[in-house]
């Protein structure tokens, strides 16, 4: 086991770093720790880093549990939580894709990136695009 949960002081960002072995218990704890009532109302962005995981030891039932918890916990949200999964391992990508297939109603916008830098670049590009759209809208008023 080697999962570290870091939540920003304003509770808007969470960084989860997984190392060594990720088993059922750890996978459940990730979801259970993130989706507390205290965190859920403020949480905007999550980074889930699988790059240092050597062994994934959970199954489809665990993915189903995580999917159900996320769907139920985010049902009342008006906006999505942005989640960046950091990995370049095929197994981690496929597990993430299974979660996405089971979580179509969860209010989580998940993307997979090979590095934290790639995720940050995508976030910066999205912010620049939003700022440009806002400027265009204001200019049209």
pLDDT computed for residue 46 by the predictor? 93
Q: Domains of the chain, with CATH numbers?
A: 3-115 (3.30.750.24)
How does the average pLDDT of the chain come out, rounded? 90
Residues above pLDDT 90, as percent of the chain: 54
7: confidence class by pLDDT, cuts 50, 70, 90: confident
Instruction: Report, as an integer, the average pLDDT of 62-70.
Output: 93
Query: Between 136 and 3, where is the model more confident?
Result: 136
Instruction: Report, as an integer, the average pLDDT of 71-82.
Output: 92
Q: Is this structure's pTM higher than 0.75?
A: yes
pLDDT computed for residue 114 by the predictor? 96
> What is the DSSP code string of the chain?
--EEEEE-TTSSEEEEEEEEEEEHHHHHHHHHHHTSHHHHTT--EEEEEEEEEEEEE--HHHHHHHHHHHHHHHTT-SSPEEEEEE---HHHHHHHHHHHHH-TTSSEEEEEESSHHHHHHHHHHHHHHHHHHHHHHHHH-
1: confidence class by pLDDT, cuts 50, 70, 90: low
């Amino acid at each position: 086991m080697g999962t570290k949960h870091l939540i920003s002081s304003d509770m808007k960002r969470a960084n989860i770093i997984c190392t060594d072995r990720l088993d059922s218990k750890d996978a459940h704890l990730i979801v259970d720790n993130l989706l507390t009532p205290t965190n859920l109302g403020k949480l905007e962005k999550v980074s889930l880093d699988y790059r240092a995981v050597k062994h994934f030891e959970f199954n489809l039932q665990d993915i189903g549990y995580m999917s159900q918890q996320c769907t139920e916990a985010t049902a009342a949200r008006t906006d999505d939580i942005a989640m960046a999964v950091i990995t370049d391992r095929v197994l981690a990508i496929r597990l993430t894709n299974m979660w996405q297939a089971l979580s179509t109603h969860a209010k989580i916008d998940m993307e997979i990136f090979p590095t934290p830098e790639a995720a940050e670049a995508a976030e910066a590009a999205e912010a620049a695009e939003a700022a440009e759209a806002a400027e265009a809208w204001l200019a049209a008023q």
